[in-house]
Amino acid sequence: MSLLTCKDFLEELNDYLDEEAAPGLRREIEAHLAECPNCWVICDTTKKTLRIFKGTDLYPLPAEVHSRLMEALRRKIKTAGGKAEA
Amino acid sequence: MNPQAAPSNGADDLALVGKAQAGDPEAFAELVSRHERSIFRLARHITQNEEDAEDVLQETFLKAYEHLDEFRGDSKFYTWLVRIAVNQALMKLRKRKSDRSVSLDETFDTGEETMVREIAVWAGDPEQLYSQEELRSILASAIDSLPPVFRTVFALRDIEELSTEETAQILNLSVPAVKSRLLRARLRLREKLTRYFKRKGDDVFAYL
């Protein structure tokens, strides 16, 4: 029988997902998850949310944005005359 | 390890910073190529548009170059860059929304009761339910719907994989403040994605 309430579980969810929960707390969370289907679903779907975001680069750097950045830096370095002489 | 996250070669960075400080432009260019993808992505997440993200990207590296002598190695070079980028990005947001100030201390809408509304089991492989293009648009609109402070914390912690302590330092927030904002961001995204990813015919609603 877990001593954790659903509210306690939600408060500890981050540390649990980040594997930062102390071993004792971790065991209590797992006991709660084993007997509370709602919290199990929240935990599972939050884990999947993170996995999906981490697996998808939403905003890869466009080649032309990279080129314009390098051009801006070249101009900067030229006008600064190089850091050593600046 | 998140393949998107910046390489955590802090020691290598320091050697390059030393060379760049001594006037080697190639060393600075190498630092740019290591971190430009991450800085652009972060700026894009915060500003929500590509033009502003490009401005932030340029301003960040130009400022870093200009102030390179002030970098003393108290933090990782990457963290120092991110701090510049976040400040530039938030400044853009403030300018754009001049009628509404953008604060990292936003306290609105933090009611516990709104944190979890829908509880439904997801399909086994939710990513496979949509095309790559659809998936990207679902994820982008979910993250865009978060208030600035939530998406900034989420982008720093869960996309760029900075630690809670680094995130707190960059945003001038306490560690508990970062943790509570991150929890809310994660739960809101979970909630948004549930609409798209829940198992078909499994329309279970529950309230906590």
- Does pLDDT of A85 surpass 50? no
- Does pLDDT of A86 surpass 50? no
CA atoms in the 13 A half-sphere facing the CB of B86: 24
Asked if B36 lies within 8 A of A57 by C-beta distance, the reply is no
Asked if B187 lies within 8 A of A48 by C-beta distance, the reply is no
Residues B7-48 pLDDT 10s: 556 668 999 999 999 999 999 999 999 999 999 999 999 999
- Of B40, B189, B197, which is closest to A61 when you measure between CB atoms? B40
Asked if A53 lies within 8 A of B143 by C-beta distance, the reply is yes
Test mutation, B54, B61, B69, B133, chain A, max A CBs within 10 A: B54
Residues B107-132 pLDDT 10s: 444 444 457 778 889 988 888 899 99
- Does pLDDT of A25 surpass 70? yes
Q: Cβ of A78 under 8 Å from any chain B Cβ?
A: no
Whole-angstrom distance, CA of residue B178 vs CA of residue B182 = 6
- Does pLDDT of A41 surpass 50? yes
- Does pLDDT of B169 surpass 80? yes
ipTM of the complex: 0.89
Test mutation, A44, A69, A77, chain B, max B CBs within 10 A: A69
Residues B51-89 pLDDT 10s: 999 999 999 999 999 999 999 888 899 999 999 999 999
Give A 6-35 residues with CB within 8 A of chain B. 6-7, 10-11, 13-15, 17
Q: How far is A17 from chain B (nearest CA, A)?
A: 10
Whole-angstrom distance, CA of residue B147 vs CA of residue B164 = 19
Q: Beta-carbon neighbour count of residue B101 at 10 Å?
A: 9
How many beta-carbon pairs below 8 A join chains A and B? 138
